Amino acid sequence: MQYNHQEIEEKWQKFWAENQTFKAENNSKKPKYYVLDMFPYPSGAGLHVGHPLGYIASDIYARYKRHKGFNVLHPQGYDSFGLPAEQYAIQTGQHPAKTTEANIATYRKQLDKIGFSFDWSREVRTSNPEYYKWTQWIFTELFNSWYNRDTEKAEDIATLEKTFNISGNTAVNAVSDEGILLFSAVEWQAFSKTTQEEILLQYRLTYLSDTEVNWCPGLGTVLANDEIVNGVSERGSHPVVRKKMTQWSMRISAYAQRLLDGLETIDWPQPLKDSQTNWIGRSQGAMVSFQVANGVEKTTAEIKLSYKELESLKVLRQNLSKAETVLWDELKNKKGAAKFRKKYTIGSFLVDYVCLAKNIIVDFSGKEDEAARTTYFANEGFNVVRFSNEAVIENVLQVVSKINAAIQFPKAIEKSATIAAVKLVADPFKIDVFTTRPDTIFGVSFMTLAPEHELVSKITTAAQKGAIETYIKATAKRSERDRMADVKTISGAFTGAYAIHPFSGAKVQIWIGDYVLANYGTGAVMAVPCGDQRDYDFAKHFDIPIPNIFENVDISEAAHAGKDGTKIANSDFLSGLKYKKAIKLAIFEMEKRGFGYGKINYRLRDAVFSRQRYWGEPFPVYYKDGMPQMIDVKYLPVVLPEVEKYLPTEDGKPPLGNAIAWAWDSRAKKVVGNEKLKNKTVYPLELNTMPGWAGSSWYFNRYMDATNTGAFASKESLEYWKEVDLYIGGSEHATGHLLYARFWQKFLFDKGIVPVDEFAKKLINQGMILGTSAFVYRATAFVKNGCSTEKSNDDVLDKIPTVLVSKNLFNSDDEFEAVVKNYLLDKGFLNPNFADLVMLVKTPIHVDVSLVNASDDLAIEAFKNHALNTEYKNAEFILEAGVYKVGREVEKMSKSKYNVVNPDDIVAEYGADALRLFEMFLGPLEQAKPWKTSGISGVYSFLKKLWKLYFNEAVFEVSKEKATKEELKVLHKTIKKVQEDIESFSFNTSVSTFMIAVNELTALKCNKRSILEPLLLLLSPYAPHISEELWRKLGNKESISAADFPVFDAKHLVESTKNYPISFNGKMRFTLELSLDLSKEEIEKTVLEHEKTIAQLAGASLKKVIIVPGKIINIVA
Partner RNA sequence: GCUCAAGUGGCGGAAUUGGUAGACGCGCUGGAUUCAAAAUCCAGUUUUUUCGGAAGUGCGGGUUCGAUUCCCGCCUUGAGUACCA
Number of other residues whose CB lies within 10 A of the CB of residue 952: 11
Residue 22, helix vs strand vs coil: coil
936 close to 910: Cβ distance less than 8 angstroms: yes
Segment 437-466, which members bind RNA (CB under 7 A)?
437, 450
Per-residue x/- track, 844-863, RNA (CB under 7 A): ----------xx--------
Q: Quick check: 486 binds RNA (CB under 7 A)?
A: yes
Among the candidate windows 103-111, 517-525, 539-547, 1023-1031, which touches RNA by CB under 7 A? 517-525
Per-residue x/- track, 198-237, RNA (CB under 7 A): ---------------------------xx--x--------
Q: Quick check: 1059 binds RNA (CB under 7 A)?
A: yes
Q: Is 1003 left (phi over 0), alpha (psi -120 to 50) or beta?
A: alpha
Locate all alpha helices (DSSP H) within 144-282, ordered by sequence.
157-167, 185-190, 193-201, 256-262, 270-280
Segment 602-661, which members bind RNA (CB under 7 A)?
603
Q: Quick check: 1057 binds RNA (CB under 7 A)?
A: no
Q: Quick check: 684 binds RNA (CB under 7 A)?
A: no
Among the candidate windows 190-198, 239-247, 346-354, 513-521, which touches RNA by CB under 7 A? 513-521
Q: Residue 242 contacts by C-beta under 8 Å, 6 or more apart in sequence?
A: 212, 213, 214, 215, 480
Decide: residue 943, CB within 10 A, 0-12 exposed, 13-18 middle, 19+ buried: buried
Per-residue x/- track, 878-897, RNA (CB under 7 A): --------------------
Closest C-alpha to 988, from 1039, 1032, 1036, 935 = 935
| Centroid of chain to Cα 921 | 28
Q: Quick check: 1102 binds RNA (CB under 7 A)?
A: no
Decide: residue 1073, CB within 10 A, 0-12 exposed, 13-18 middle, 19+ buried: exposed
Question: 133, 501, 611, 977: which one contacts RNA (CB under 7 A)?
Answer: 977
Q: Quick check: 763 binds RNA (CB under 7 A)?
A: no
Minimum CB–partner distance for residue 970 and RNA (Å): 13
Query: What whole-number distance in Å separates Cα of residue 229 and Cα of residue 240?
Result: 10
* Beta-strand pair 349-355/360-364: antiparallel
Per-residue x/- track, 253-272, RNA (CB under 7 A): -----------------xx-
Q: How many residues of this chain interact with RNA, rule: CB under 7 A?
A: 88
Minimum CB–partner distance for residue 772 and RNA (Å): 8
Q: Quick check: 780 binds RNA (CB under 7 A)?
A: no
Question: 158, 337, 660, 1106: which one contacts RNA (CB under 7 A)?
Answer: 1106
Q: Residue 747 contacts by C-beta under 8 Å, 6 or more apart in sequence?
A: 141, 142, 145, 154, 205, 255
Q: Quick check: 751 binds RNA (CB under 7 A)?
A: no
783 close to 837: Cβ distance less than 8 angstroms: yes
Q: Quick one: 229 or 426, whose CB is closer to RNA?
A: 229
Among the candidate windows 321-329, 384-392, 479-487, 828-836, which touches RNA by CB under 7 A? 479-487
Q: Quick one: 357 or 558, whose CB is closer to RNA?
A: 558
Decide: residue 1037, CB within 10 A, 0-12 exposed, 13-18 middle, 19+ buried: exposed
Locate all alpha helices (DSSP H) within 762-827, ordered by sequence.
793-798, 813-826
Q: Quick check: 679 binds RNA (CB under 7 A)?
A: no
Segment 400-439, which members bind RNA (CB under 7 A)?
433-437
1103 close to 1085: Cβ distance less than 8 angstroms: no
Minimum CB–partner distance for residue 855 and RNA (Å): 3
Q: Quick one: 720 or 921, whose CB is closer to RNA?
A: 921
Query: What whole-number distance in Å separates Cα of residue 852 and Cα of residue 860?
Result: 9
**Backbone φ and ψ of 23, nearest 5°:** -70, 130
Among the candidate windows 202-210, 548-556, 975-983, 1029-1037, which touches RNA by CB under 7 A? 975-983
Q: Quick one: 487 or 1050, whose CB is closer to RNA?
A: 487
Q: Quick one: 916 or 977, whose CB is closer to RNA?
A: 977
Query: What whole-number distance in Å separates Cα of residue 553 and Cα of residue 226?
Result: 40
Q: Quick check: 868 binds RNA (CB under 7 A)?
A: no
Question: 639, 841, 1102, 1108: which one contacts RNA (CB under 7 A)?
Answer: 1108
User: Known binder of ligand: residue 634?
Assistant: no
Residue 549, helix vs strand vs coil: coil
Question: 45, 928, 1004, 1088: which one contacts RNA (CB under 7 A)?
Answer: 928
Among the candidate windows 367-375, 416-424, 702-710, 932-940, which touches RNA by CB under 7 A? 932-940
Helix axes 965-983, 52-67, angle to 10 degrees: 120
Closest C-alpha to 1108, from 1071, 1067, 1075, 1080 = 1080
Number of other residues whose CB lies within 10 A of the CB of residue 419: 11
Q: Quick one: 410 or 935, whose CB is closer to RNA?
A: 935
Question: 108, 341, 799, 1069: which one contacts RNA (CB under 7 A)?
Answer: 1069
Segment 270-299, which members bind RNA (CB under 7 A)?
270-271, 274-275, 278-279, 281, 283, 285
Closest C-alpha to 56, from 991, 1015, 735 = 991
Among the candidate windows 10-18, 144-152, 316-324, 1059-1067, which touches RNA by CB under 7 A? 1059-1067
In angstroms, the Cα distances linking 555 to 441, 515, 541, 550, 577 are 17, 21, 15, 9, 19
Minimum CB–partner distance for residue 918 and RNA (Å): 8
Number of other residues whose CB lies within 10 A of the CB of residue 263: 18
Query: What whole-number distance in Å separates Cα of residue 800 and Cα of residue 780?
Result: 9
Question: 532, 723, 1028, 1029: which one contacts RNA (CB under 7 A)?
Answer: 532
Q: Quick check: 740 binds RNA (CB under 7 A)?
A: no
Where are any strands of DSSP class E within 74-149? 145-148
Minimum CB–partner distance for residue 222 and RNA (Å): 17
Q: Quick check: 479 binds RNA (CB under 7 A)?
A: no
Q: Quick check: 939 binds RNA (CB under 7 A)?
A: yes
- Degrees, nearest 5: CA angle 217-219-224: 90
Per-residue x/- track, 573-602, RNA (CB under 7 A): ----------------------------x-
Segment 707-736, which members bind RNA (CB under 7 A)?
731-732, 734-735
Residue 291's DSSP bridge partners are: 430, 500
664 close to 622: Cβ distance less than 8 angstroms: yes
Segment 487-506, which members bind RNA (CB under 7 A)?
487
Among the candidate windows 143-151, 193-201, 414-422, 1104-1112, which touches RNA by CB under 7 A? 1104-1112
Q: Quick check: 1066 binds RNA (CB under 7 A)?
A: yes
Q: Quick one: 734 or 748, whose CB is closer to RNA?
A: 734
E strand or H helix that includes residue 408: helix 396-408
Residue type, 362: V
Residue type, 11: K
Question: 521, 596, 637, 1046: which one contacts RNA (CB under 7 A)?
Answer: 521
Segment 319-378, which members bind RNA (CB under 7 A)?
none
Query: What whole-number distance in Å separates Cα of residue 1052 and Cα of residue 1056?
Result: 12
Minimum CB–partner distance for residue 930 and RNA (Å): 5
Q: Quick one: 783 or 928, whose CB is closer to RNA?
A: 928
Among the candidate windows 350-358, 478-486, 688-696, 707-715, which touches RNA by CB under 7 A? 478-486
Cis peptide before 637 (omega within 30 of 0): yes
Question: 1061, 1072, 1084, 1109: which one contacts RNA (CB under 7 A)?
Answer: 1061
Note the residue count of the chain. Answer: 1117
Q: Quick check: 681 binds RNA (CB under 7 A)?
A: no
| Centroid of chain to Cα 754 | 22
| C-alpha R_g of the chain | 38
Annotated binding site for ATP: 895
Annotated binding site: 895
